[in-house]
Each structure stands twice: as C-alpha cells, then as structure tokens.
Amino acid sequence: MLQFSDYDYIIVGAGSAGCVLANRLTEDANCEVLLLETGGSDRSIFIQMPTALSIPMNTKKYAWQYHSEPEPYLNNRQMHCPRGKVLGGSSSINGMVYVRGHAKDFDEWEASGAEGWNYQQCLPYFKKAEDWAFTPDAYRNQGGPLAVNNGNNMQNPLYKAFIKAGVEAGYMETADYNGKQQEGFGPMHMTIKKGVRWSAANAYLKPAMQRPNLHVQTGVQVDQVLLEGNQATGVRFQHDKEQYSVKARREVILSAGPIGSPQILQLSGIGDKETLDQAGVELRHQLPGVGQNLQDHLEFYFQYKCRQPLTLNSKLGPFSKLAIGVRWLLFKTGLGATNHFESCGFIRSKAGIEWPDLQYHFLPAAMRYDGRSAFAGHGFQLHIGHNKPKSRGWVKIKSNQATTAPQIQFNYLQHPDDIEAFRACVRLSREIIAQPAMDPYRGEEIQPGAKVVSDEEIDAFVRESVESAYHPCGSCKMGSVEDEWAVVDNQTRVHGIKGLRVVDSSIFPTIPNGNLNAPTIMLAERAADMIKEQTPAATNEVEVALDAQWQHSQRPNAPARG
C-alpha cells in the first residue's frame, strides 16, 4: 500500500501544464505538492530521440489511443486522437514544433470573455518559459527552462527553396514567426536541446523532482475530485487495483488535457445533467460547458515526387535507420537530432482575413506520421491545414467508470467556412510549389493529384484524406460566468466550485494559429503566478506586424509566376 499525507496542491496530470505547475509551485519550499500521472517513465530512446517522434505517438504504453465517434462531415471516419500517457504528457509524444500563435489569437481570447489574456499580457510568460538559441529581443528570451532552436539549421536545400518559393509567390518572408511578424515563410522552431527532445518533463519536471516538497506518483487513474458541498477537498484514484483518497489543503488542479480534464469533471458530477444522467453519475454541480467547445486542427499532406535524390525517403531502410540511431546515441547529432520540420509558412486563406489562418510544415520526405513511405522513390511534402476552424465538438463520458474512454466528437468541417478554407489550401499550395525556386526539385504531384481541381473534387479529397494535427483544445472554456459554455474564470478557477482549477489547453477559448505546446506552457506559467498570488509579470507593449492591405488582398505582392 502506498502512503500519502495531505498536500497543499494536488495536480492531476504530468503533461505540459502539469510539469510547469509542479516546478513553479514547489519553488516555495513550504509548499507540498502531489503530482499524479497515469503513465510512467519517459526514459525511452523513442521519446528522447527527436526523429523517432512517430513511435511514441502510436504506442499504447506512452499515449492514450483515443478515437473520435464517426465524423459526419468526413465520410463517417473515426479520427485518431492520441494524448500523452507518460511523464511530460503530450510534450513527450508530439512533433516538438514551437509555435506561440499569432498575437491576435490572444486578443481574441480576451474578446471572447477571458479578461486579461490578451497578447501583451501573455508575452512575458512566453518569454519566461523560453531559452531561445539565437539573439534575444523584445519578443524572445534566453535563460528559461524550455530550449527552442531550429534543429539542424536547414542543411537540406529543400527547406530554403520552399521559403524562397513562398516569397516568389508574393508572400512575405519572416525571420521569426514567433516575434513581431508571424505571417510569411521562414525557418521553423522546435523544442530540442543538444539533440534531445526538450519536453516539459525534461525542462520543468526533472529539475523539480530533486526537491523534497514534490511527490510524483505514476501509474494512477484519477476517477473523481472529492467535493464537500461546493468545495473541492481532494481526489480519489486507483493504483494497482487499490483505491486511495488524498486531501488537498489548498487546491486541486486538473491538468489532464482536453480529453482527460472534462472527463474527470464529469465523473465528479460537474457538468451537464443530461450527460451525467446518461452515464449514471449523480449531478453535483450543473456546468453545461464541460466537454463543449472542443476544437482541433486538421491537415493533409501535399506530396510531390522530387527530381533530385536528396530527400529523407532514402533514409527509411533498416540500415540507414540504424546508422542514424547509432550516431544519435553516441553524439546526439545528425538526422536523429531534428524533427525534420525546419521551414514553414503562415498565410491568410483569402482577403478580409486579418491574420494568418493557414499553416505549412515543410518536410523533405513523402511519408506519413507513422513513418511509412508514400511511394518508392524521392519526394517531399507540405503539411497544410486551416488553423482557425469554426466547427465545434464535444467530449462526454459514457459511464461512471474512469477506465472507460469518453465519447469524442469533433464535428470537423461542420462549418462551411472551414470547407472553403481547405479549398484554398489546395489551390494556394499548388501555386507556391509552381514557383521557380522549386523547379530543380518539383516532380509529379502525388497527392492530391493533378486531376483534383474542382470544388467538388477538392472537397471529396479533403473529406477522405485530412487527418488530425493532434491539437485538441477548448473543452473547458475560459470565460465569464455569463457565458453558458464557460467552465473556468480568467484565474483558471472552476465556476461555482472553490479550490478547483483547470490548467491545460482545455481552457483555451479559441484555438490559436499554430501548434499548441507553446501556448499551453505559457498558460501554465501564468496560472502558476495566479495560484501563488504573485504580482503578474509586467505587460509587454510591443509592435505586432499585420499586412496593411489585409482587407483587400490575400497576400502583399502579386505572384511572380503561376
């Protein structure tokens, strides 16, 4: 039997947010913290070696292998939704891409009811978290826990050719999309340090685990928050078929992610009465927004054959993989030390869109996330997706058992604007790859294929081919008590329940234009100050670049060709 005392704070989930909170709260030596995690150790070469990113994501040991309900607007396909089940959570299984989102995304949070979460107030916490590999400025910082760089610095010529093609097509070039100007094409940033995945576990949790006031317990399944009236007093969980109840002197903090956090709230009787009745759970506190407002990014692979033998498709054989692995084990360098997404682009899908809503990840290979080759030969691909979807879904428990996976419905492409944006993804991508910079490399279009041209043909391709970009969020929305869907207030406190917070990407009001690990870590850094009742970091008043002609043009300049 395990032995537990009472703790000041109990954090549920050792993912990106939970690791940050465990570190920051235990900076106070008088504060006792218990961190609970279902998964186990992250000591695996497949987690720590960046190029192996597809393996932990698709391994039951390291990830919850959730699937959505049949998606009605995607030909009833059930979409894969892996979530981290290991120390570091999804930061230990993700693609390590570091994107903060556009400044306007956070102004949008505030406008939707999350008072005080505008960009100028969030920026100091992005900076607090960061250890930027290049020259710091008003937007970037050195000395934080989270290492950020450009991997192998675009040694493959395809990376720079893609950036040049974007400029030739009439778009801007940006030296730092996480700085003053997101819009445009430039080098991509990743959370890697000295060739190793720099997860939240490596950056935040492992240093904190040296402190005597942090207790980390793995292998547990939390099934409910304990309540006395409207006061959260602790949690109940299972470990090795034994049940435990542990009390929190101050607060319980859910950081179980956009699937786990609403599931635990609903299992605790906090949520919509109809959902809880159907699952056999007694309603303790009516909060209809729990599980609602679910959002995610979709993307597809735009693939081309490559006319020159310089892509990663030649490195997929067993001997090449062995050589890459051995070099990484010995020196932490080479192709094993990058996620291979080293250049990117952020553009607007049409005139009248104020800030970018489409994102490119460029990969000098034609392959899937699971590592399978697209065809025999050399190729490259763009991961392209619409990043500001208007479609909304939900998470609902099916029973009163924590071991039963909840129902997940994203309703991808429910909104017609999302369909229109994906048509732009196809047409604008073709135009970019048709530019002179890609002439030495561009071969036959593999996917979607040159015959996919009309709206109807593009829509059919998208419905059949899009995949999740693994960015679910929004299912415990942050907002004012007047908002029916709001679950937490702007201090991350659950509406109507004392001593209970949710701190993870589930509380994002709207999804940012970019990958979600960076804003999740920022949010947790800021929430830690709120929990400790510290004076918030000084607001950064910095300039944000926008295309002055955004209302009238889709890009700043006419394309050079195509």
Q: Which residues contribute to the annotated binding site for FAD?
A: 86, 94-97, 222
| Tokens linked to 79 | 């979409």
Instruction: State the sign of the Cα–Cα–Cα–Cα dihedral 208, 402, 487, 494.
Output: negative
List C-alpha distances in Å: 296 to 311, 391, 406: 30, 9, 17
Residue 138 contacts by C-beta under 8 Å, 6 or more apart in sequence?
540, 542
Cβ atoms of 313 and 442 within 8 Å: the answer is: no
Strands 358-363 and 379-386: antiparallel
CA angle 202, 208, 214 (to 5 degrees): 130
Please identify which of the residues 67, 471, 495, 552 carries the catalytic annotation: 471
Q: Which of 80, 78, 84, 79 is nearest to 64 (CA)?
A: 84
| Tokens linked to 283 | 């309603």
Integer distance in angstroms from the first to the last C-alpha of the chain? 69
DSSP states of 277-325 as a string?
A: HHHT---SEE-TTTT-SBB--EEEEEEEEESSS-SGGGG-SHHHHHHHH
Tell me, yes or no, if 102 is annotated catalytic.
no
Q: What span, in angstroms and rounded, lies between the C-alpha atoms of 9 and 33?
A: 5
- Please state the residue numbers annotated as binding site: 86, 94-97, 222
CA angle 221, 222, 228 (to 5 degrees): 160
What are residue 63's phi and psi, to 5 degrees? -145, 140
Cis status, amide bond into 448, omega within 30 of 0: yes
Which amino acid is present at 269? G
Q: What span, in angstroms and rounded, lies between the C-alpha atoms of 398 and 96?
A: 32
Q: What span, in angstroms and rounded, lies between the C-alpha atoms of 78 and 538?
A: 45
Write down the H helix ranges in 177-291. Answer: 200, 206-208, 257-267, 273-279
Radius of gyration of the chain (CA): 23
Cβ atoms of 5 and 212 within 8 Å: the answer is: no
Q: Which of 555, 486, 547, 433 is nearest to 112 (CA)?
A: 486
Question: How does 283-306 read in b/e, with b if 16+ C-beta sit within 10 Å?
Answer: ebbebebbbbbbbbbbbbbbbbbb
List C-alpha distances in Å: 336 to 71, 158, 172, 343: 36, 18, 31, 17
Known catalytic residues are 471
